[in-house]
A and B are shown apart, each in its own frame.
Chain A
Amino acid sequence: MTWKTKFGLRGLMAAGAMAVATAMPLKAQAETTYNLAMLSDFSGPYADIMPILAESREIIFDWWNKTRGRELGVTLNYKNYETRYDAAQVASLWPGIKSELNPIAVVGLGGPDVAALSERLPEDKVPMFMSTAAYGYAWQPDAWIFNPRPTYSHESLGFLNWMREQRGGDEPIKVAVLASEASPAYVDMAKGIELYAKEHPEEIDVVEIIYTEVQPTDLTAQMRRVARAGAEALIIQTNTSIVVAAKRGLQANGANIPIMMSSHNGLPASGAALGGLAQLEGDYEAYGMAVAADEDSPARQFYETLVADYGLKAPWNVVTAMGISQGLYIAVVIEHAIEEYGADALTGEKVREALFARPITTEETHGFLPTLTFTPEAPFPLKGLKVNVGTVRNGKIAIEATGVDVPDVSKW
């Protein structure tokens, strides 16, 4: 080996060492990674919407990592866990998730996650963020599980008050509710409406609450009963199969009572199960987030960005909107926590504190959610609650009303 070669090698090694030394702090700063545990249902009752929901919420973290995360020096890593929408499965998975990921937050899916983890998360100091509306049975102070939307009952009551205003007159609006005891969440949806109607008989008259199976055999007789009782609206926030059975029951009776659905069993999903959106002409979906209609909106524009720049394949519908809004408000809370406490030692506890520290504005969630002000009093914002109403007009989903006020509802 000649001196030239030796010098060359040494020089190369020195340059390499310098490059590594120079890059190390930057690399460490850029790779502060925090983990998120995603609870998913690819093989249970919500398997039909899960691929879209999963892609929509995952892409938000990919987008965040490439934009705000890069600026802040933080990467959000995520991993899906299959729960089959089963509380026992969630409970058995949780210790493993905790030891494997040590997550700073859980990206939740539905009622079984709440039922399984509501006692454990406060002990483990990990907050869980849902995409759905909240549940009355989980309406407790000092929560560790949060919903960007109020309870399903809040959302349906906002819709019913809006419908009564549209109808005019002083009479209470007559409503029937279809629920199921297959899930505590389904019962909860009906209980809140029932209590509100008892306290406000001048506003709402519940003609009947029908409990049925998740795949009803036949609802023709039940639909005749509610039609004869003069119901002006049917509230179905359970699943698409019940919407289909109720619609068939109404059609068999020649009755035309508008159905209000929620986000997880909304117009696109129920329309597809009925053989086309046209079957739901004049029916509604109502919830506290953006309606995925054809009209241009900040939410729609942001969705188009995700499609064009980040390869989002999920169609523009309510499930995609749910996934995006969930990802967005979680990313914003984490961002607030980084700004408040720094990027280096973030914990689940600090993320939760950041949630209460300042509101998540509607601009931060690109119009997907209204401005959310969380307090330790409840797992969802108690003030400034709004719902948006979508409908089917000429075979297409259209926005019927936005920013509809949600009434104050007593705890049940």
Chain B
Amino acid sequence: MVYFINDIITGALIGLLYSLVAMGFVVIYRASKVFNFAQGELVIIGGFIVWFTTLQMGLSLWLSIPLSLVLAGLVGYAIERIFLTKLIGESAFSMVMVTIGLLILLRGVVLLLFGPAVRPFPIIFPLKPLFLGDMLIPMNLLIGGIITIVAAVGLSWFFNRTRSGLRMTAVAEDHVVASSMGISVKSSIAFAWILGAILSTIGAMIFLSGKSLTFLASDIGFAALPVALFAGLESIGGLILAGVIIGIAQSLTTNYLDPMIGGSLGSVVPYIIMLAILLIRPTGLFGWRSIERV
């Protein structure tokens, strides 16, 4: 029974990590209506920035972490300025296609700048897990879970209660209308990309702390995809519930069903849940249902 509870807790924490990465999807989507397929690549870019400032430049974590977040924000800003700003007013489909191109480009840039070698990632969070009696909780996931919840609460408040956040939501509704209302579409989208890149970098720190860094780490972007779609692409708070549900389902499947069937059903379960919920509720659990009058 203890193991069962432990597996549920670990699963929930892994799910919260997925939620944090998925938050990058949602922030960009809420501000620009663009589904960023290169979110996993932003995680890698963030990871390499942390690796570079910590292990290459030799800065202490207290210096390298804030510096990395600033640099990641600059990367997000640069991506928006170079690739997306000229597409303002164009269809969302064009922008989505650009993000697919971005996915391939960023992988290439990582290979070009840092080479293909597998590198040690700095130990950001203590390796020693937290022991609660017979239960064991990985420290990186525990701290990551807390960060995710704080980030979700903060961003929900920002998007729903502040003028800037509501402006960004208006931009997502229609670029032209928002522009005619005096809202700076460029600034809103740029801010969303900066935020998306920073969230991805925090995700990289939690995911890779003490492990290894390669471009394979971008796969977490695809692991977070079902969480974003399950929650609904506009809901930041909903990501927490969706992440926890998917994480627990995946953990229990991996630990109890996979040994029985001798397969990796655990990696498929998030997508099964996602497809099931999309069949019942196409906008996801907490996505906005829009009515179009024609």
Contact = CB atoms under 8 A, between A and B. Distances in A.
- Residue from A42, A273, A274 whose CB has the most chain B CB atoms within 10 Å: A273
A48 B266 contact: no
A213 B219 contact: yes
A215 B220 contact: yes
Contacts of B107: 43
Given A214-B216, A215-B219, A221-B10, A273 B136 contact: no
Interface string A239-259: 111001100100111000000
Contact of A211 (B111, B120, B141, B263): B263
B7 A211 contact: no
Interface stretch (B78-86, B181-189, B207-215, B236-244): B207-215
B10 A218 contact: yes
Contacts of B262: 194, 209
Interface in A15-53: 42-43, 45, 47-48, 50-51
Which of B14, B120, B263 has its CB near the most chain A CB atoms (within 10 A)?
Answer: B120
Contact of B141 (A51, A218, A253): A218
B267 A213 contact: yes
A244 B211 contact: yes
Interface string B81-114: 0000000000000000000000000011001000
Max chain B CB contacts within 10 Å: which of A214, A217, A275? Answer: A217
Given A43-B116, A208-B259, A240-B118, A220 B212 contact: no
A180 B119 contact: no
Given A224-B136, A244-B211, A244-B212, A272 B10 contact: no
Interface in B32-59: none
Given A43-B111, A240-B212, A241-B212, A48 B116 contact: yes
B129 A252 contact: yes
A294 B216 CA distance: 32
Nearest to A276: B120
A269 interface: yes
Contacts of B161: none
B126 to A, nearest CB: 9
Contacts of A274: 120, 212
Interface residues of A, number: 38
Contacts of A212: 264
Interface string B1-14: 00100110010001
Contacts of A253: 129, 136
B125 to A, nearest CB: 11
Contacts of B259: 208-209
A217 B116 contact: no
A347 to B, nearest CB: 36
A181 interface: yes
Contact of A275 (B14, B120, B214): B120
Contacts of B267: 181, 213
A211 B127 CA distance: 22
Contacts of A211: 254, 258, 263-264, 266
B248 interface: no
Contacts of B255: 221
A334 B204 CA distance: 49
Which among B217, B255, B262 has the highest number of chain A CB atoms within 10 Å?
B262
Contact of B264 (A180, A248, A252): A180
Contact of A47 (B3, B17, B111, B136): B111
Contact of A272 (B6, B118, B136, B141): B118
Contacts of A225: 3
B143 to A, nearest CB: 13
Given A42-B116, A48-B118, A241-B118, A218 B217 contact: no
9 contacts: A42-B116, A47-B116, A51-B116, A181-B267, A209-B259, A211-B266, A215-B214, A215-B220, A216-B211
Given A48-B116, A252-B138, A274-B212, 14 more contacts: A48-B117, A181-B263, A194-B262, A211-B263, A213-B223, A213-B267, A215-B212, A215-B214, A215-B216, A215-B217, A220-B136, A244-B120, A252-B127, A272-B118
Interface of A: 42-43, 45, 47-48, 50-51, 180-181, 194, 208-209, 211-218, 220-221, 224-225, 239-241, 244-245, 248, 251-253, 269, 272-275
Interface of B: 3, 6-7, 10, 14, 17, 107-108, 111, 115-120, 127-129, 136, 138, 140-141, 207, 210-212, 214, 216-217, 219-220, 223, 254-255, 258-259, 262-264, 266-267
- By Cβ-Cβ distance, the 9 closest A-B pairs, closest first, are A47-B116, A181-B264, A275-B120, A273-B212, A211-B264, A273-B118, A244-B212, A48-B116, A215-B216
